[in-house]
Amino acid sequence: MIVPKRIIIYPKDVQNITGKKDKTARRLINKIKQQLCKPEDGLVTVKEFCQFTGIAEVEVQRFLID
C-alpha cells in the first residue's frame, strides 16, 4: 500500500496534473464540490478528484506538489 503524501488536492496540483490554467483548475475543483454537495469552503480529497476524473490515484500522487 502506498502511503499518500497528503489527502487534499489543491488548484496548483490540478494545474500540474492537467496542464490547465489556475482558473480552469479552480473551476474543476468547484464542480467536484458541487457534485458532492460540499460547502464552498469544503476540501476535495485526492480520492474524490480521482473518482470524478477517472485518473488513477497512484498517478495523481506522483504529481502532488509538496
Per-residue pLDDT of the chain (66 residues; tens, 9 = 90+): 666 578 999 999 999 999 999 999 999 999 999 999 999 999 999 999 999 999 999 999 888 876
> What angle, rounded to 10 degrees, do the helices at 22-35 and 11-18 form?
110
pLDDT of residue 1: 65
Res 5: pLDDT: 75
Whole-structure pTM value: 0.88
The Cα–Cα gap between 18 and 14 comes to 6
